[in-house]
Structure 1
Amino acid sequence: MISFPNAKINLGLSVIACRDDGFHNIETLFYPVPLFDILELVKSSDIKTKFTRSGIEVASDFDSDLCMRALNLLKKDFEIPPLKIHLHKNIPPGAGLGGGSSDGAFMIKMLNEYFELGLTEQQMENYAGILGSDCPFFIRNHPRFAKGKGNEFEDVNIDLSGYFLLIIKPPFSISTKEAYESIKPSKSQVNLYKLSELPVSQWQGKMVNDFETVVFKKHPILSEIKSNLYELGAVFALMSGSGTAIYGIFKHEINPHHHFPGFFCHSAWLT
């Protein structure tokens, strides 16, 4: 069985407050985008599961990879035989694009289908929530307003079909832990849910990402990338998640490699 875990972007992100459990309350809009890893699994005749990776290098060891953590989580409740699992990484880690979270969530969905476990979407979201705060989003995988730790959802009517997406990431990353340690939570001055009802052309200056203030201060090149995207004609640009990927939404197609040499670049029409 093969699947294609996709990335997400954040259309605004507000860090509201610290929680007693060590996490933060946030408000954000998740939007799935067409940048895909490739995840494959088959039954194995070996006595142990074998997990391999290729593509963009990931710092984590195999046991802590969210694919393996998802497998081990479900094995606590279901009889799952040894597997051969291969993950090809196209989504850069440490970018705020949710690649690892998507891989873990898609592993849950694949195991549920492959072994006919009979899990509902809500049950799969519950398992995904154990793996990470934004993992549950990728179970249903459509635009949603998120609050709490990022795992309490409401559907939103956002459709970016017909826009051209450009994602730029410089050759360095920021850990989520580092980003949250640097930010001072504060009550949001905007209502992201209401802002999602506005046309994209009115988002600039209204939809904000609270992490930009602290992350741009440490890495000014990110602010320059965002400014360059607007200069190239983006109708909206923002850093995704806690960084370091910056995306631009355009009405026209653009070749990124001429403008951002040496950076990770991904572009696609949204459908």
Structure 2
Amino acid sequence: MEIVEKAPAKLNLLLNVLFKRTDGFHELELIMTAVDLSDRLTFTPQKDSAIKLVSNSAAIPLNKKNIVYQAARLLKEKHQIDEGVQIRINKQIPVAAGLGGGSSDAAAALRGLNRLWQLNLSLEELAELGETLGSDVPFCIYNKTAYATGRGEAIQLIEEIPQCWVVLVKPVKGISSWTVFEKLEPEVLPKYPAQQMVEAIAAKDYEKMVQQMGNALEPISIEQQPDIQIIKEKMKAFGADTAVMSGTGPTVYGFTQHFSKAQRIVNGLKGFCKEVYLVRTLK
């Protein structure tokens, strides 16, 4: 028997950094959603007790350093599972892109192994486990639009955003999250109106929603990767209703409700960046 789970990419529609906490982490305020650019994980039982990872990507480790391995080990140890498993990770989400690919893979591993090993854990229980693996994993368990606080692990599901087309553009050079957060001075970063965005989403007001979108980490990431600013400007020039960096970057996304306009944005940016994707928000 094989089990298959999709692992969708995550977008930060809004990201505020409120302050640095006493535990060394930063208190965040986030609104996140998922798009249909997805990795695909396939789980196959093994006769021995080992966890084996295989992948189509040379960019990820296939050992204990991989968060998917850590998720599988966590479930095995917590629930005393003797069975082994092979997990095939078909990567489509760019690595080190600010799209939560690793966290989404870990969440898919928890969901898939919950089914394979018939543990009957609820999504809430899986999200609680996922929090020990990474701040974005609880959101990725649900893959629904959410308002999040804390390190990003305190999830409150909200209304789904109006469905639209999303153009994703990833520059060649990636950005490591820790290099962004180590330089942060929260008091000088921009702040975006989270509550107004939640209200706009609830009202299905697309125009008001895109007006509120923003990422407070952009100034720091643009210092490391100036192409982010160039991509934002090009996206808007080609007709995107908004252009925002996701996570710590460097991926920039643009929204539009019109397929013809989305195609024009894609065609305009393909000459500037190799990795350009046209996807939709998830329902």
- Shorter chain as normaliser: what TM range? over 0.9
1:9 matched to 2:11: yes
Aligned residue in 1 for 2:31: 29
Deviations 1:139-164 (A, max 9, x none): 12210000111011222224231x11
Alignment map for 1:176-215 (pairs within 5 Å): 176-186=177-187, 189-198=191-200, 199-203=205-209, 206-215=212-221
Aligned counterparts, 1:112-191, within 5 A? 112-161=114-163, 163-186=164-187, 189-191=191-193
What is the identity, as a one-letter code, of the residue corresponding to 2:221?
V
Retained in 1: the 8 A contact 2:180–2:221? yes
Q: CA deviation at 1:258?
A: 4.7
Deviation digits for residues 46-90 of structure 1, max 9, x if unmatched? 4533211113x4254521111100011111112331111110111
Distance 1:188 1:44, change over 3 A: same
Could you tell me which amino acid in structure 2 is paired with residue 233 of structure 1? G
For the aligned residues, what is the CA RMSD? 1.8
1:85 equivalent among 87, 92, 95: 87
Partner of 1:265: 276
CA distance in 1, matches of 2:80, 2:130: 18
SS at 1:5's partner residue?
Answer: strand
The alignment's TM-score, normalised by the length of structure 1, stands at 0.93
Secondary structure of the residue aligned to 1:64 is coil
Closer/same/farther in 2, CA of residues 259 and 82 from structure 1, 3 Å limit: same
Q: 1:246 is matched with which residue?
A: 252
In structure 2, relative to structure 1, the CA distance for the partners of 1:220 and 1:51 (3 Å cut) is same
Answer with 60-69 or 258-267: which moved more. Answer: 258-267
Counterpart position of 1:217: 223
Residues 82 and 121 of structure 1, relative CA distance in 2, 3 Å threshold: same
Q: Using the alignment, how far apart are the partners of 2:240 and 2:31 within structure 1?
A: 19
Letter in 1 for 2:278: S
Structure with the bigger percentage of helix: 2
Spell out structure 1 runs of 4+ moving beyond 4 A. none
Q: Which runs of 5+ in 1 are unaligned?
A: none
Q: Does 1:235 align with 2:228?
A: no
Q: Secondary structure, in 3 states, of the residue corresponding to 1:91? A: coil
How far apart, CA to CA, are the structure 2 residues paired with 1:109 and 1:231?
A: 41
In structure 2, the residue matched to 1:68 is: 69
Cα contact 2:53–2:62 (8 A) shared by 1: no
Q: Structure 1 pair 208/259, CA: closer, same or farther in 2 (3 Å)? A: closer
**TM-score when scaled to structure 2?**
0.89
**Unaligned runs of at least 5 residues, structure 2:** none
SS of the residue corresponding to residue 79 of structure 2 reads: coil
Question: What one-letter code is carried by the residue in structure 2 that aligns with 1:154?
Answer: Q
C-alpha distance in structure 1 between counterparts of 2:217 and 2:192, whole Å: 15
